[in-house]
Amino acid sequence: MPQRLDLRNVAIVAHVDHGKTTLVDALLWACGAFGEHEHVDDRAMDSGDLEREKGITILAKNTAVHYRGPAAAENGAPGGVTINVIDTPGHADFGGEVERGLSMVDGVVLLVDSSEGPLPQTRFVLRKALAASLPVIVVVNKVDRSDARISEVVEETMDLLLSLASDLAEDHPDLDLDTVLDVPVVYASAKAGRASLTQPTDGTLPVDEGMEAVFHTILQRIPAPSYDEDAPLQAHVTNLDASPFLGRLALLRVHNGTIRKGQQVGWAKQDGSVAPVKISELLRTEALTRVPAESAGPGEIVAVAGIEDIMIGESLVDLEDPRPLPLITVDEPAIAMTIGINTSPLAGRVRGAKVTARQVKDRLDRELIGNVSLRVLPTERPDAWEVQGRGELALAILVEQMRREGFELTVGKPQVLTRKVDGQVLEPMERLTIDIPEEYLGSVTQLMAARKGRMETMTNHGTGWVRLEFLVPARGLIGFRTRFLTETRGTGIAASIFEGWEPWAGAITARTTGSLVADRAGAVTPYAMINLQERGSFFVQPTSEVYEGQVVGENSRGEDMDVNVTREKKQTNMRSANADAFENLVPPRQLTLEESLEFAAADECVEVTPNDVRIRKVVLPATERFKIAAARRRAEKAES
């Protein structure tokens, strides 16, 4: 089969914060994509507000660089090589984006931090790449870190490659272990824009060769796209975008044939039917912009306009000889939560907010178009829906995006999805990797034991830090992050990846403290907060408005407590000897959306508005809650 020697398609994959987006920036700079004097912010590929705020990549994006260095001529392309680069998310919750990105490329660049080494997401993306028989290039990034341990990290990466290849050997008999382990290693500091094939001394920069080592290795090890000259048009839709002028854009990879602007093609839908459509516009990516093109051949990644209802996974084919490509499949969701309209007494107070069930449902339907790992199912209530996703962060990001778009929502506490096989209930398990200072080893081990975590490995690198690896039920990680950061004084690092399904592990006590619940509506007074602050910590500010059933703080004891935070000091004509000392009021805790979802108990939910995030009881009136609790106790007593 012939190959496009002037083209390479590669995905950059890694764990969170190992420098994927910074490496893409370095490749763009090296090829002059930004011009000599143009000022471009760091992490140019992280274009979303949430991506920049959180410092993570949420959506897979593609860019293209045109490399004209000496390695291009060596590989049969004297005019230069176009390298399509897919920047993928590093967080396990956005694994659907990674799987979609891998379907577009012919090889992967695996980025590994020179100090942290391989972490859970590294294992996830490597497994997917090996299963797809994609060649791998290892780039050890941040080699100039003061705590770099380059040799050990390379050894750990090779051990991981061998372990994954051995696990996959049964299902993929064509997987050659010698080929898997024969991977090139590039040493880089993406932030400094330098890379080398020679291992530098720990903590020093590579030899100043720019990014030539990365380009050279990509051209040597990543195969050029191959195609069948006699095959008709086959193009796979792998992503969706939108333009204010052109409407919906379908991002696709052309596998065979040629697609042209104005061409009549077949749209192969998910139900198996093929409809004729016209390509009204064809766009090719150059650096960070899309430019019009007349045609695109095999191996190219382009965007087309003119097909308003096209979905991810569908194909564009030849009308006379349609040969649809297989649909993109991703791993099933493991976490679910309920999203519905805001039902609190303060609903509709924000001018212009979107508060109707129709608006919420339309927004969730739009999210399904571009998010292949999400599911939206109906519930018993007509104004609420069950949203299923890979993890807590992915669902929280969706809610945060909707909040910023002006929606008011009631969001339930995340719950794990279970399966029943041969009469046995199975639950999702996570492989959790933790890096902590040695002094917190005991407290973290105790915390994980309470959440049914099983320690598999413990490694002491001799630097004062310990790496622990646990298998823990996914529901044990709901609310884990806040407790973990508290136990480690904010120094611990934890990351997890889906590991599989195991029998139900039993009851888990996720939160040992109760809630302080407002027993009436009104404005919060400093006088009431000062008298109650010994009971626990508050989430509300003085003068803020509350309602009955709203969670206003955390009780230091294990049970919920109804409190009056609106109480005012009685007015008298006598001056108090000890005047109100409001400076003694402990500042309240400001919970983010993610922290609120973690904190909420089983009988609580989160009220989300464009201006505020509040925790509340599902049943607001105290009398109703007491009746429900009494009925539950009677039922438990009858069962016993």
Which CATH number is 524's domain given? 2.40.50.250
In-domain check, residue 146: yes
Do 206 and 238 lie in one domain? The reply is no
* Residues 9-28 pLDDT 10s: 998 887 767 777 788 888 88
Do 529 and 447 lie in one domain? The reply is no
Q: In what order do the strands lie in the sheet with 136-141?
A: 61-67, 81-87, 7-14, 108-113, 136-141, 185-189, 194-196
Do 214 and 279 lie in one domain? The reply is no
Pick from 54-63, 410-419, 554-563: least confident: 54-63
Q: What is the pLDDT of residue 39?
A: 40
Phi, psi dihedrals of residue 347, rounded to the nearest 5°: -65, 145
Do 208 and 64 lie in one domain? The reply is yes
Contact between residue 197 and residue 210 where contact means Cβ atoms under 8 Å apart: no
CATH number (domain holding residue 13):
3.40.50.300
Which is more confident, 614 or 175? 614
In-domain check, residue 143: yes
Task: Label residue 582 by pLDDT band (50, 70, 90).
Answer: low
Which is more confident, 391 or 577? 391
Instruction: Fill in the amino acid letter for 593.
Output: L
Q: What is the pLDDT of residue 78?
A: 81
Q: What is the pLDDT of residue 290?
A: 82
Q: Is the pLDDT of residue 258 over 50?
A: yes
Place of tokens 């069962």: 639
Do 39 and 129 lie in one domain? The reply is yes
In-domain check, residue 392: no
- Domain boundary residue, one of 251, 282, 317: 317
In-domain check, residue 586: yes
Which is more confident, 640 or 488? 488
- List the one residue out of 396, 498, 289, 286 whose CA is nearest residue 53: 396
* Residues 502-515 pLDDT 10s: 999 888 876 778 89
CA distance 4 to 66: 14
For the full predicted model, state whether its pTM sits above 0.85: no
CATH number (domain holding residue 435):
3.30.70.240
Ranges of beta strands (E only) in 406-504 are: 409-412, 415-416, 419-421, 424-437, 454-460, 465-473, 493-503
Do 147 and 244 lie in one domain? The reply is no
Do 19 and 158 lie in one domain? The reply is yes
Count of CB atoms situated within 10 Å of the CB of 25? 25
Contact between residue 307 and residue 277 where contact means Cβ atoms under 8 Å apart: yes
- List the one residue out of 107, 99, 167 whose CA is nearest residue 134: 107
Q: Could you list the residues known to form a binding site, using ranges.
A: 17-22, 141-144
* Residues 125-143 pLDDT 10s: 787 788 878 889 999 999 8
Q: Alpha helix (H) ranges present in 439-510?
A: 441-450, 480-487
Q: What is the pLDDT of residue 565?
A: 92
* Residue 257 token pair: 């044939």
What lies within 8 Å, CB to CB, of 204 at 6+ separation is 143, 144
Do 444 and 524 lie in one domain? The reply is no
Q: Residue range 577-585: average pLDDT?
A: 59
Which is more confident, 2 or 428? 428
Contact between residue 435 and residue 466 where contact means Cβ atoms under 8 Å apart: yes
Q: Is the pLDDT of residue 574 over 70?
A: no
- Domain boundary residue, one of 266, 288, 317: 317
In-domain check, residue 154: yes
CATH number (domain holding residue 305):
2.40.30.10
Chain mean pLDDT for the chain: 83
Ranges of beta strands (E only) in 31-80 are: 61-67
In-domain check, residue 386: no
**Number of domains comprising the chain:** 4
In-domain check, residue 387: no
Q: Is the pLDDT of residue 581 over 60?
A: no
Do 526 and 497 lie in one domain? The reply is no
* Residues 325-341 pLDDT 10s: 887 766 678 889 999 99
What lies within 8 Å, CB to CB, of 9 at 6+ separation is 83, 84, 86, 104, 105, 106, 107, 222, 225, 253, 299, 301
Q: What is the pLDDT of residue 341?
A: 93
Question: Structural domain of residue 632, as residue ranges?
Answer: 514-636
- List the one residue out of 104, 90, 91 whose CA is nearest residue 11: 104
Task: Label residue 353 by pLDDT band (50, 70, 90).
Answer: confident
What percentage of the chain carries pLDDT values higher than 90? Answer: 21
Do 520 and 485 lie in one domain? The reply is no
Q: Is the pLDDT of residue 114 over 60?
A: yes
Which is more confident, 55 or 334? 334
* Strand pairing class (185-189; 136-141): parallel
Q: What is the pLDDT of residue 182?
A: 82
* Residues 440-483 pLDDT 10s: 899 999 989 988 999 988 888 667 888 889 999 988 888 787 78
Do 261 and 239 lie in one domain? The reply is yes
- Domain boundary residue, one of 317, 351, 368: 317
Q: Is the pLDDT of residue 40 over 60?
A: no
Task: Label residue 95 by pLDDT band (50, 70, 90).
Answer: low
Q: Could you list the residues known to form a binding site for GTP, using ranges.
A: 17-22, 141-144
Do 208 and 301 lie in one domain? The reply is no
CA distance 400 to 610: 9
* Residues 171-224 pLDDT 10s: 666 666 677 778 899 998 888 888 898 888 887 888 777 888 899 999 988 988
In-domain check, residue 380: no
